[in-house]
Structure 1
Amino acid sequence: MMNLLTVSDLEVFYGKVQALQPTAINVDMGKIVTVIGPNGAGKSTMLNAIAGALPATGSQTGNVLFSGQNLVGVAIEKRVAVGMSLVPEKRELFASMKVEDNLLLGSYRRYQAGEKEYADQMRVVYDLFPRLKERRQQQAGTLSGGERQMLALGRALMAKPRLLMLDEPSLGLAPLIVKEIFQIIQRLKQTGVAILLVEQNARAALQVADYGYVLETGAVVLEGAASDLAEDQRVVDTYLGLTKK
């Protein structure tokens, strides 16, 4: 299996406060890798550092290799251009714009690059999310929480990413919608895109992932095949409760 993303010795600071200790993770092509852990563990910080989306108060050291290219110091727009797409925790949709226009914005980089078929992913997105097709003329702000998450995922897919990074996709959603979102994440894997999934819902994340990392207080404390982590007593006791159902 060919490696797509290699992160090594990644550290993040906010001023003098260390938010992420030296961290190493890998994502292979076409695989789902999850990072689980409690709130405040540094999961989103790690994801934003990889994506080049740290706030101005943050600084980072270490290496972020994507297909062998070191992206440290590279702007987020150029990271998108080489095949990275981030779906942020807050989704950051344009509420007053139509669903379809939000999706088209996801392919803007491809349009700028002169790709004639820059909107060709629209069919893929509508196949994955039929509800978005039904609501394509609605304003994004009128969608339900689950539909907004679908729109955020769809917009990221419009860029034709090789790596899709998801920050807490289940946050604030009802249990039935969470189940649907994770079913969609499983289907996304069939398209060949690799996924780096940051998630507090450890049970759901480990069910869809191939490999996992446990992050606590800014450090990776455990890693392994997702199926093994789901059986690890430390993970069961801390994140999955008393049963493994």
Structure 2
Amino acid sequence: MSGTDAPILLACRDLSVSYGKIAAVRSVGMEIREGQVVTIVGPNGAGKTTLLSSLMGLLPFSGEVAYFGETTTRPLGVEKLVRRGMGLIPEKRELFGSMSVEDNLLLGGFDRWRQGQRNQRDTLDEVFGIFPRLKERRRQAAGTLSGGERQMLAMGRALMAKPKLLLLDEPSLGLAPLIIAEIFRIIADLRQRGVSILLVEQNARAAMAVADYGYVMEAGEFALQGPAADLAKNDRVIETYLGIAGAHASADKEAAGA
């Protein structure tokens, strides 16, 4: 787990995003430090994806955002952010279904190739090391993959750009429990490899288990925030997002530690 003195990769202050007269995100502030997994949990329509999209330069915003130490009051281009070390894995994954797994991955490293870097094959081997299943299916069309394999491919494609910070939008959406466990194991592994992660997720239990710090978003605002381990014990979070099973798990942990 990273310390509070680690460099800040991304921070925002008083960030707001509106669709016309409708405020989707209202004056939020947050930060992600090097070596951290930070999660944002909350219900559908809370503004989580809107916030992620604005941070990645896909939506206009008001307020301030600091990217790797440089503060701006307007969106930077996606291409510029990718070159600085950010990557987004959208909820819908947005793969090229008719192209092979390997070609989808190589496209993720295209900007590095365009800048004169020619080590994409080495990076491809690294990605195959993280996702052995993708190596097995490297010649297969992306559109024929299972849901879990498509999520792995979306993550692998983003890693081909050698990001310092990955923005993940609902990686567990539509996946079976065993696959969800595998995806979150990979998220923890990526942190060990030096990739920081901002994780938007409805599966609060899985998100809090892997994260260092968490934010609970409701109606466009952060209702709660704090170390993920503390949020996982918060009565409001347990009741609203973790359910009865979460309460039992919390009680069991307390009993074990008594």
Q: Is the 8 A contact 2:54 2:75 kept in 1?
A: no
Structure with max Cα Rg: 2
Matches of 1:236 and 1:143 in 2, distance apart? 35
Task: Using the TM superposition, give the Cα deviation of residue 108 of structure 1 relative to its aligned residue in structure 2, in angstroms.
Answer: 0.6
Question: How far 1:73 moved relative to its partner?
Answer: 2.8
Deviation at 1:53, TM superposition (A): 1.7
> CA offsets, 1:56-75, max 9 Å, x none?
xxx31111111111353311
Q: Any unmatched runs of 5+ in structure 2?
A: 1-5, 250-258
SS class of match (1:231): coil
Find the counterpart in structure 1 of residue 18 from structure 2. Answer: 13
Give % identity: 57
Cα distance in 2 between the residues matched to 1:74 and 1:31:
23
User: Between Structure 1 and Structure 2, which shows a larger proportion of helix residues?
Assistant: 2
SS in 1 for 2:9: strand
- Give the equivalent residue in structure 2 for 1:229: 231
Shift in Å, 1:2? 1.7
Q: Which runs of 4+ in 1 moved over 2 A?
A: 70-73
Q: Note if contact 1:119-1:158 (Cα within 8 Å) is conserved in structure 2.
A: no
Match of 2:131 in 1: 129
Equivalent residue number for residue 71 of structure 2: 70
Structure 1 unmatched runs, 5+: none
Deviation at 1:183?
0.8
Shift of 1:134: 0.3
Matched length: 241
Q: How does 1:1-245 map to 2 (within 5 A)?
A: 1-54=6-59, 59-71=60-72, 72-244=74-246, 245=249
Determine helix, strand or coil for the equivalent of 2:214: strand
TM-score (norm 2): 0.91
Query: Aligned partners of 2:121, 2:167: CA distance in 1, in Å?
Result: 21
Q: Distance in 1 between matches of 2:76 and 2:38?
A: 23
What is the CA RMSD across the aligned residues, in angstroms? 0.9
What is the rounded CA distance, in whole Å, between the counterparts of 1:62 and 1:118 in structure 2? 37
Taking the aligned partners of 1:117 and 1:9, their CA distance within structure 2 comes to: 40
